[in-house]
Structure 1
């Protein structure tokens, strides 16, 4: 993991997520690409062409001046958290955020996207809710979403939701170096339902395979998978939830207000979403 992309609108939510992005970049010895995207307004086709051109130039200049003013503040945040040694590149681009994300991920060969989410204003209007789920599903790389109320205080416990599939090992293998960088333990959790029981021999096999690594395994009995996962976050003091996007259903529920209200501790637990390999 050498390149991390961080979209920002310079809001408090984004600035909070910036700390996580910087920490992850430090953990992986990666470069952080800071992206600010802005959209041009739609102006009536009957408007005077000269006036339209002037409006667009004014908006572009305004965004450039704002971006130029914000860069030192981002560097100040990095310095405040002793992260000013992390290399950063700054990008200002006009267009729809999700379109630009996909373009930049491809052009810059980005390994991870980190973004802030809230639900009230600013960046969350582009990223929270279905748009966050869309970003997770449309990008081929992992996406780390940081809730507004998350406060970085180290990463000691990482929860990894697994079905004990062979493909899950590839994700776990990527998590272990990240966990070691933070001095954290990966807690693999599987929710065993009445209809889908896990063979204890499979769990034993995984335990043997990862013997000596900072990995623990938990099997939780429940027919309410989402609630069981979030109860686990609470009980195990999880700092980061890692899950695999086998389907959009879980993440659509995760980023809807009803689920967020029901599972209040999601408000401070970041979610790292990987695609099934």
Structure 2
């Protein structure tokens, strides 16, 4: 069974990601969805009134917990309309969203975390969406970032974007094999090192590493790395971009928030962030 963890805050962004997960679960059959909402109230919030001069009392917290549980159940019912056979669990945590995610991942096997990206026109629409990259960098399991307009499509073609010269350091093979083994797809490996060719030793190593997937190899000469990836994916009509958010990959630039948002904003298809 594949288990998908979907953090939600009841925004359009998060609900869109949840609906994507429901359609994915329909396609994958033996799968489970966990809808997670985090409601954290700090000691500071307990001492001071809110901007509208309301004091956060225990009674108000209890009322909010009930409202959130009801909202989770309502969202679950909407997902069951998409996939009536879906196995959906709801979870309300009183920790921060990141701590809540880590606790669930440590408690049970999670195959994929699915997060909605806010996109350019909804920058502040979802706290989860605005922190998608931070969550992905801290998550011990792969994270799928779903753009606002991305609709689920059967995954037939995937783009793996990496720097061929640093491939030894950046490809998490176990995670990659786990994902690709569940889909019969065409893998296109895109060199994002400014179109620079690699030498025969590097070429041999890369081909040996990815031999089981029978990929085709391509080079991007676009001066803007992210635009080059997105344009290539669009031209190839791919259904997913696979990227590597760790040191030495082009996702090292995710340390700069303005750059990190560009891929999830500009990409028209989901972006899968793999970890070791």
Q: TM class, shorter-chain normalised?
A: 0.7 to 0.9
Other-structure match for 1:67 = 69
- Displacement of 1:114 after TM fit? 0.8
Report the CA distance between 1:71 and its aligned residue: 1.3
Identify if the C-alpha distance between structure 1 residues 217 and 95 changes in structure 2 by more than 3 Å, giving closer, same or farther.
same
**Residue 177 of structure 1 aligns with which residue?**
181
Distance 1:189 1:171 in 2: 18
Instruction: Give the CA deviation at 1:175.
Output: 3.1
Aligned 1:27-66 pairs, distance under 5 A? 27=28, 29-40=30-41, 42-44=45-47, 55-66=57-68
Report if aligned partners of 1:28, 1:178 keep a CA contact under 8 Å in 2.
Answer: no
Offset of residue 206 of structure 1: 5.2
Could you give the per-residue CA deviations for residues 46-79 of structure 1, whole angstroms, max 9, x where no partner exists? Answer: 9xxxx968x2222322332342244144323332
Compute the displacement of 1:244 (Å). 0.9
**Structure 2: any 5+ residue segments left out of the alignment?**
none
Query: Please, what is the CA RMSD of the aligned residues?
Result: 3.3
Between the aligned partners of 1:264 and 1:6, the Cα distance in structure 2 is 19
- C-alpha contact 1:64 1:92 (8 A) present in aligned 2: no
In 1, are the aligned partners of 2:17 and 2:146 still within 8 Å (CA)? yes
Indicate yes or no: 2:84 matched with 1:84: yes
Q: How many residues align?
A: 259
Match of 2:194 in 1: 193
TM-score normalised by the chain length of structure 2? 0.77
**SS in structure 1 of the partner of residue 192 of structure 2:** strand
- SS of corresponding position for 1:144: strand
Decide whether aligned partners of structure 1 residues 45 and 223 sit closer, same or farther in structure 2, where only a CA change above 3 A counts: closer
Aligned partners of 2:68, 2:206: CA distance in 1, in Å? Answer: 51
Report how far residue 143 of structure 1 moved: 0.9
Indicate if the aligned counterparts of 2:239 and 2:269 stay in contact, CA closer than 8 A: yes
Matches within 5 A, 1:141-220: 141-164=141-164, 165-166=167-168, 168=171, 169-180=173-184, 184-193=185-194, 197-199=197-199, 202-203=202-203, 213=213, 215-220=215-220
Structure 1 residues 121, 246: CA separation in 2 closer, same or farther (over 3 Å shift)? Answer: closer
Provide the residue aligned with 1:242 in structure 2. Answer: 242
The answer to whether 1:3 aligns with 2:3 is yes
CA contact (8 A) 2:158 2:187 kept: yes
CA distance in 2: counterparts of 1:257 and 1:225, whole angstroms: 10
User: Larger deviation: 205-214 or 30-39?
Assistant: 205-214
State the distance in 1 between where 2:226 and 2:123 align: 24
Distance 1:59 1:121, change over 3 A: farther
> 1:121/1:225 Cα in 2 relative to 1: closer, same or farther (>3 Å)?
closer
Taking structure 1 as the reference length, the TM-score comes to: 0.77
**8 Å contact kept, 1:8–1:14:** yes
Indicate how the Cα distance of structure 1 residues 106 and 148 shifts in structure 2: closer, same or farther if over 3 A, else same.
same
User: Runs in 1 of length 4+ with deviation above 4 angstroms?
Assistant: 200-214
